[in-house]
Structure 1
């Protein structure tokens, strides 16, 4: 699957988790009062998430979660036409329902038993993934390639790795 599609899908997944948790929490607990402290905490978490997303994709330091080394050491796909999924298939593979559950359940529990504003915890993934997606989009354009993540048996190493292909070699759907 394409790296960019994976990032955008995570944004949608977090939105789905909030869409599932919010009606339940607000139905049981009622609509929360708008409090400056709760909004400030959520904004601080969102800003931190965006900052750490930027650090993760723009540094080579693995102890900071640096993914840039993965992009730069990506291997070229030996036969892109035979391996690459269509754009729709890549987007479909990128969506992971288990991530929705992993994000929705804690948001739901914290929202019900702690504070209704806690459903906003699901959104802390969104700024990080948006920053990564935008960075990767421009990285691909700057380098003239499409970045993929996956396991291809025909490739060297035969394990989960970063791969790239020419944008012209990818099938458009």
Structure 2
């Protein structure tokens, strides 16, 4: 189990790391793009605007892709003590190697064979995930709950469902 906000911030970290690694390589091999290289730049700006617009639309309640509506359909966690983070949590592992490669390899290949701007293509995704993390943090704060993403053996859910628990674990009754 991973907190929803933490999962979004992991995505931001991996996208930024992939761009930080691939951009110097691409710009070093291909050079800094000239002002007339509009295809890569326009593709990057289109992707950025699409991701930001998608994130802002997802932050509303009006659409079927609303993140807020997804949060409201979250199911209470039966045993919060079983999934609450311990000492070795995801906090210490912000970058997952396989996911980092999933961002790094396509952006580097696109930058080397198409346009150097493709090295920055993971960044618009990080903008969307950052907005999602902000929306989730606001929802958690307003409701006094924590959103969790993942599966619990004792509590199977459908795909895309979230769980929630109280901010403070319940104290045992005497």
**TM-score band, normalised by the shorter chain?**
0.7 to 0.9
Whether contact under 8 Å (1:18, 1:119) holds in the other structure is yes
- Map 1:107-126; keep pairs closer than 5 Å: 107-126=107-126
Structure 1 equivalent of residue 79 of structure 2: 79
Q: Matched residue of 2:167: which SS?
A: coil
Structure 1 equivalent of residue 26 of structure 2: 25
Whether contact under 8 Å (2:147, 2:164) holds in the other structure is yes
Unaligned runs of 5+ in 2: none
C-alpha deviation, 1:98, in angstroms: 2.2
Distance, in Å, in 2 between the alignment partners of 1:10 and 1:169 is: 27
Whether contact under 8 Å (2:67, 2:132) holds in the other structure is no
C-alpha deviation, 1:165, in angstroms: 0.9
C-alpha deviation, 1:46, in angstroms: 1.6
Whether contact under 8 Å (2:9, 2:129) holds in the other structure is yes
C-alpha deviation, 1:105, in angstroms: 1.3
Distance, in Å, in 1 between the alignment partners of 2:63 and 2:93 is: 29
Whether contact under 8 Å (2:68, 2:139) holds in the other structure is no
Distance 1:6 1:24, change over 3 A: same
Unaligned runs of 5+ in 1: none
Structure 2 equivalent of residue 55 of structure 1: 57
Structure 1 equivalent of residue 136 of structure 2: 136
Give the TM-score, by structure 1 length: 0.81
Comparing 160-169 with 9-18, which one deviates more in the overlay? Answer: 160-169
Structure 1 equivalent of residue 4 of structure 2: 3
Whether contact under 8 Å (1:153, 1:159) holds in the other structure is no
Q: Matched residue of 2:162: which SS?
A: strand
Whether contact under 8 Å (1:151, 1:159) holds in the other structure is no
Distance 1:29 1:149, change over 3 A: same
Distance, in Å, in 1 between the alignment partners of 2:57 and 2:81 is: 33
